Amino acid sequence: MCPPLQFPSVSKLHRYSINTRWTGNRGSGTLDYRAYSRDHLILAPGKATEIQGSSDPNFRGDKRRYNPEEMFVSSLSSCHMLWYLHLASVNGVVVLDYEDRAEGTMLETDEGPGRFTQVTLRPRVRIADSAKIDLANRLHQEVGAKCYIANSVRVPLTYEPETTASDH
């Protein structure tokens, strides 16, 4: 058994609870690999909606539902965006629009389980003042050191920001 993780002085501890419920029993459970659906629901206390999940279609999942790999990339993208908006706000960069077309690459090998080898965030940001475009772009690198999710994973993250200004 591994020893417990050691953390520096903790001033706040946050806990997150998720209920993942499998909904894919077609009547015979997991009697056979093809006998069941990978469909599931992701719920959180106090949330009004549920997330419909499945596995990637390459692994017998439903392409209309979110899969764990997409949710992983989404969590990195969302965390980056939220920290970016915060840093922009405290640094006097007025963000008017933000969209990220994030992409993750997962390698599956014959030798063992697959893993993500790269996640690229491509935020497209529109700000109010063109004089702050350089600062706006630099903030993306600072976010990388602050994002809780990014600091919790070992996959390499790449940032390819594109910033425009509405006063141009």
Residue 134 — φ and ψ, nearest 5°? -60, -45
Contact by Cβ (8 Å): 147, 119: no
Q: Residue 111: its pLDDT value, please?
A: 86
Edge to edge, what strands does the sheet with 51-53 contain? Answer: 19-22, 40-43, 51-53
Q: Residue 23: its pLDDT value, please?
A: 95
Contact by Cβ (8 Å): 141, 105: no
Q: Residue 156: its pLDDT value, please?
A: 94
Q: Is the pLDDT of residue 5 over 60?
A: no
The whole-chain average pLDDT of the chain stands at 92
Domains of the chain: 13-66 (no CATH), 68-165 (3.30.300.20)
Contact by Cβ (8 Å): 138, 151: no
Q: Residue 4: its pLDDT value, please?
A: 64
Contact by Cβ (8 Å): 113, 57: no
Q: Residue 13: its pLDDT value, please?
A: 86
Q: Is the pLDDT of residue 3 over 90?
A: no
| 99-125 pLDDT per residue, tens | 999 999 999 988 878 899 999 999 999
Q: How far apart are CA 128 and CA 88, in angstroms?
A: 11
Band of pLDDT at residue 47, cut at 50, 70 and 90: very high
Residue showing tokens 């993250």: 157
